[in-house]
Amino acid sequence: MSGRRHPRGRSARTGPFDPRLLEALPATRGPVAVLSVLGVLDGVAAVAQAVVLALLVAQVVGDGPVGPVLAGLVGLLALRGLLGGAGEYAARRAGQRVSGQVRLAVLRRWSARPEEERPPTDVALTRATDGVTALEPYVARYLPALVTAAVVPALTVLVLAVVDVWSALIVVLTLPLLPVFAALVGRHTQEQTERRWGAMALLGGHFLDVVRGLPTLVAYGRADHQVGVVREVGERHRAATTATLRTAFLSTAALELLATISVALVAVAVGLRLAYGAMDLTVGLVAILLAPEAYWPVRRVGAEFHSAADGATALAELAADGVLDVDDAPDVAAAPAGNPPALGPVDHVGLHALSYAHRGRSRTLVDVELTTPASPGLTVLTGPSGAGKTTVLELLAGLRVPAAGSVAAPRAFLASQRPVLLPGTVRDNLLLVAPTDGSDATLVDALRRVGLWDDLAARDGLETDLGEDGFGLSAGQRARLALARALLSDAPLVLLDEPTANVAAGSVPLLHRAVLDLAARRRVVAVTHDPDLAALADDRWHLEPVPLDDPTAAVPPAGGPARSDAARGRDEGTPLLGALRGRAGLAAACVLGGLSVGAGVALTATSGWLIVQASTQPVVLTLMVAIVGVRAFGLARPVLRYAERVVSHDVALADLADRRATVFARLVPLTPARLGRRSRGELLTAVVRDLDDVVDEQVRVTVPAWSTGIATVVGAVVAAWHLPSAGLVVALGGLLALGVGAAGYAAERAAQGTVVAARGRVRHTVTALVTRLLPVQATTGLHADRTRLLGPVVDGEHDQLRAESRLAAARGATTAVLWLVVAGTTAVVALRVADALAAGLLSGPYAALVALVPMALADAWVGLADVAGARARARAAAARLDRVLGQEPAVAGAGRRRLAAAAPADVRWDGVAASWPTDVGRAEVPPDLLPTDLDLPAGSRVTLSGPNGTGKSTALAVLARHLDPAAGRATTAGTDVLELDLAQARSRIALVDDEPHAFAGSVRANLALAAPGADDEEMIRALRTVDLGHWFATLPDGLDTPLTGLSGGERARLSMTRAVLADRPLVLLDEPTAHLDDATAERALAGLDGQVGSTTTVVAVSHRPVGPARDWPQVTPGTVRALAAAQDGTRPVH
């Protein structure tokens, strides 16, 4: 493996080009080579165009034959159209192919590395999605521009030297200043871009975190508050981006200004020699029109570098991660560093003198010594929650790198507490571990052995569609599916993390038999709190938490210090920018853009007049007005362009921050029933990428369209002032270009929907993989073939490439036709000017002025192809966004009645049934909760029991007001729940989910969302109430310690702590003790039961009642027709 490594969080700085991209990924070389050739050919055509255009103007002014020269110019413009169209097609395909290859390389590498050798999740997600996508302009635009800049200026100087050696000498002396200046400014731009990437990672990680935890935020009434936080984070991203763009745009403007001054030096020398009769007009025109072509490729490199700065930064970050190391091929899973499990035969499984600490924790395991035979058998690992049992399994599987000591273990399969289920079918998820020839019969047999096949057969069997995180299956069904994978795996070591948790008691013996079947053929190490399973073991490990007074307990985390927050600084910009926002700012940007393009038209036309006028050898003072005008237009163009870009981007970014918060607010009523865990990747696509495209319409559509329109009007007026027919032709050419752009929009609009959908599928799949990479690795192992795992990504990339190819064909055709419009307009205007000159209606200098107007508008007109494409993309993204946000909430919020603060928390159901919303167009399915009656007086304690899939969690969702009853009537305090104010109804309920979310942040922040006014003493007391006192004592910074490395039991008790702090009259518990040993579970549940008070109603879902819950009445949803008062201690018959 290569020794090139860089500190995490710091990019490896690269020069203008990092060859490792092409070396590591050979498939990228062909597209880059094709683009480079097309770019050089287009540059050569531009040089020839400048020469022929000068000859045409000279012929027009000299009243010579224009036909042959005009035909040559039209042919060159048509050739540029073909090259431009081919370049657009090749660029889009190249960008997509390269980004797809890099994304797969990234996923292959990260999936073969332990957690300590990967970036943190929020950073990884940004790099694998936006970061890899940012490589597209880097590859498609910047690299070809770099090749063009290496060839075309030299060719231009050579041609110029043949025409006028003195002009060539000026170019040779001034041209090197541009790359030097660009490098100096580019270094500062790269630093700014790195800070912006910190802000992007913060934004992406924050939004992912709040989307994951949105049900918790909704349950505790903190979702609306989070809208403001989303707006603040978006504003921070805007500030960081604006600061970067100001630097980038300023450097681009400076390069353009420097090039303008250099061309002006050539013009001065040419003009003076023309005025004194020392130069022929044709030579002078060639020199003046050819000189800019020497500077244009270098300016383009600067502009494209700034446009691709995100790609350059992303490439540097990926290089720092080792993705581009040639000797570390991305599709070969190299052994991880540190002390990985042995890959060869071993005679035992164990940890030797091993120590480990999670990031942000002072200790997790210290000097652990555990050994068991590698031969077939069952080893159980027991110990209290938080002792590090899950961490032991992850170390045995090679998913983590110990800080000290060693691991001995063969290749392993790990069924984790929260098994990863990727979007797709049951078959897809089983085939991640099944042998290559795994038949349907083999898969069905494994499902039967864990008691899951009958449930799936009632749906779509192996084709049953699963959402993200197994949305559609209960927690117990997900656990069984994980055990079925273990049966299918051929790994010699099977690691099971609480295989019977969340499973109905009646099904546990079946799972015991499945575990014993595994142990008869392989070594099984199982973490369990199930005493019956422990009794079946032939070997036992026990783990205790690290003693608080152990002087050796502080262990440095293997992955180094936790990543610090990036981009905390704020850049509010100038007061003027703050005032120019909204419609006023957008209008100002349009005017500035129009004036900038208009200044360019005026510069070209005035320069033509000046050169031709100088050739008549007038008194030099008579040229001063024109000279001043040329200077003013030359200076105004880059300055106005800079102002337009800064204003338009600041307006768009401010709008983006505001819209992102608004969109988040619209998600709140849809949570969780309409969104669910299955939509997380889709939400990230909609609210991050699609919303970017919608807002991008302001910068890439509105401003350039209006700018082109304003400049066209200016050009038409200038031409019409001297020759009305020419002005009319220019106006008609502008209208024709607009019509071609509209046709291009129509062509791309049809394809953009497919592109946006394909892109969304790729992002959805990548998000699911990256955010659950540790459990994914647990399932597939670090050294397995990645073909099946990455198959959906590969398929998605192929679909996107096909869609992008259709889009690129439409864009290329639009570009080519627009060049033909330029050619036609130029030809007609040139002919009209020649006729007017012959008729004596126009002088020579003004003939040059009018003839050059269409070519001065060429770039703006051809740019309408990009405008059309951006609008099509924005419309398609808006439609996708509307599909997500346009759903009706699953909970009616029309109720206005409010209960008194002291109203009792009694619950009565009469035949209540409910269903989770299904996908649009899906056939009707039976309700998830069959009609159920409940009668719970205030202060009741009751347990919902029954087999997996009977609707227990659905019943809790109805009680929590996350679902409306589909049938029957539900009341609390004698009032129909549908008539109550939704926010107040939820404010009376505390919910402990079956997979509680711990937000990225401190312990204090995680607890404060349930009780914002709680002080430190109350928080610490609540932690001790649910038996988290020992855990809290290990935190290095107390309540300010970031939450990392939580076990399943710790996570559940943290959620119980929230319920204690919230002090609400109704408490709902969904499998609160599933990941706890009996002693810990009894202490935690007894603490909660005693703390919430006798008037608080508690409803729990549990397959393993412990402590006080043993005495609670049990209810099976869908079967109980009546329930006596829980307070009298009777149990209903069910």
The residue ranking higher by pLDDT, 316 or 462, is 462
pLDDT, position 591: 92
What's the pLDDT tens digit per position in 602-631?
888 888 888 888 888 777 777 778 788 888
- Identify the CA nearest to 242 among candidates 626, 569, 635, 622: 569
The burial class, CB within 10 Å (0-12 / 13-18 / 19+), for 544 is exposed
**One-letter amino acid of 951:** G
Calculate ∠ Cα 265-267-271, nearest 5°. Answer: 125
At 728 the pLDDT is: 95
* pLDDT value at residue 571: 45
Q: Please tell me if the domain spanning 348-542 has the same topology as the one spanning 907-1128.
A: yes
H or E element in which residue 934 lies: strand 929-936
Residue 73 confidence (pLDDT): 87
The whole-number pLDDT of residue 708 equals 93
- Tell which wins on pLDDT, 44 or 676: 44
C-alpha span between 1119 and 17 (Å, rounded): 69
Mean pLDDT of 96-124: 83
Residue-level pLDDT at 307:
67
- Per-residue pLDDT, 873: 87
Quick check: 440 and 461 in contact, CB under 8 A? Answer: no
Q: Give the number of residues written for the chain.
A: 1134
Q: Whole-prediction pTM value?
A: 0.74
Residue 550 has pLDDT above 80, yes or no: no
What CATH class has 20-327+580-885? mainly alpha
- Per-residue pLDDT at 1021: 92
Could you tell me if 369 and 352 are in contact, meaning their C-beta atoms sit under 8 angstroms apart? yes
Per-residue pLDDT band for 59 (boundaries 50, 70, 90) equals confident
The proportion of the chain whose per-residue pLDDT surpasses 90, expressed as a percent, equals 12
For residue 1017, the model assigns a pLDDT of: 92
Given a cut of 60, whether residue 344 has pLDDT beyond it is no
> Would you state the pLDDT for residue 432?
80
pLDDT of residue 680: 57
Classify domain 907-1128 by CATH number.
3.40.50.300
**Over 80: is that where the pLDDT of 95 sits?**
yes
More confident residue, 1023 or 1109: 1023
Q: Residue 1119 — very low, low, confident or very high, per pLDDT cuts 50/70/90? A: low
List of residues 6+ apart from 653 with CB closer than 8 A: 237, 238, 241, 242
For the chain, what is the mean pLDDT? Answer: 80
pLDDT mean over 1043-1060: 84
Q: Is 353 a residue whose pLDDT tops 60? A: yes
CATH class of 348-542: alpha beta
What residues contact residue 601 under an 8 Å CB cut-off, 6+ apart? 711, 714, 715, 718, 853, 856, 857
Compute the distance between CA of residue 634 and CA of residue 600 in angstroms, rounded to an integer: 7
Q: Is the peptide bond before 179 cis (omega within 30 degrees of 0)?
A: no
Across residues 1061-1085, what is the average pLDDT? 83
Residue 468: predicted pLDDT: 62
Tell me what pLDDT residue 306 has.
Answer: 67
315, 138 Cβ separation under 8 angstroms: yes
pLDDT class of 330 with cuts at 50, 70, 90: very low
891 φ, ψ (degrees, to nearest 5): -120, 125
pLDDT category of residue 337 using cuts at 50, 70 and 90: very low
Average pLDDT in the 866-877 region?
89
Task: Report whether pLDDT(555) > 70.
Answer: no
Average pLDDT of the residues in 278-303: 84
Segment of 20-29, 44-53, 876-885, 944-953 carrying the highest mean pLDDT? 44-53
Nearest to 767 by CA among 662, 681, 688: 681
Work out the pLDDT band at 516, boundaries 50, 70, 90.
Answer: very high
pLDDT at 865: 92
C-alpha to C-alpha distance for 649 and 698, rounded to whole angstroms: 8
Residue 661, pLDDT > 50, answer yes
pLDDT band at 927, cuts 50/70/90?
Answer: low
**Confidence at residue 286, expressed as pLDDT on a 0 to 100 scale:** 87
Residue 48 has pLDDT above 80, yes or no: yes
**Is 20 within 8 Å of 325 (Cβ atoms)?**
yes
pLDDT at 575 over 80: no
Q: Report the pLDDT value the prediction gives residue 568, as an integer from 0 to 100.
A: 38
DSSP-assigned beta bridge partners for residue 967: 913
CA distance 872 to 285: 41
Kindly indicate the confidence band of residue 934, based on its pLDDT and cuts at 50, 70 and 90: confident
Res 1058: pLDDT: 92
Q: What is the pLDDT of residue 1131?
A: 32
Q: Tell me the two tokens of residue 143.
A: 């690299």
Other beta carbons within 10 Å of 456 = 18
Structure tokens, 840? 């004596």
Q: What is the mean pLDDT of residues 190-200?
A: 60
Q: 229-233, 683-687, 860-864, 1110-1114 — which is least confidently predicted?
A: 683-687
- pLDDT of 7 reads 38
Q: Which of 393-402, 730-739, 762-771 has the highest mean pLDDT?
A: 730-739
pLDDT at 167: 87
Judged against a pLDDT cut of 70, whether residue 791 lies above it is answered with yes
Confidence bin at 436 (pLDDT 50/70/90):
low
Position 293 pLDDT exceeds 60? yes
β-bridge partners, 972: 907, 975
d(CA 524, CA 529): 16
* Stretch 409-432: mean pLDDT: 83
pLDDT band at residue 470 under the 50/70/90 scheme? low
Using alpha carbons, select from 249, 310, 222, 337 the residue that is nearest to residue 1005: 222
The per-residue pLDDT for 867 is 93
Is the pLDDT assigned to residue 159 strictly greater than 80? yes
List the chain domain ranges.
Answer: 20-327+580-885, 348-542, 907-1128
Query: Which string of DSSP letters, residue by residue, matches 957-983?
Result: HHHTTSS--SEEEEEETTEEGGGB-HH
Of 504, 536, 523, 548, nearest to 382 by C-alpha is 536
Alpha-carbon distances, residue 596 vs 600, 636, 855, 859 (angstroms): 6, 7, 16, 13
Whether the predicted pLDDT of 679 surpasses 70: no
- Smallest CA-to-CA distance from 323 within 110, 126, 29 is with 110
Select the more confidently predicted residue: 225 or 504. 225
Greater confidence, 509 or 469? Answer: 509
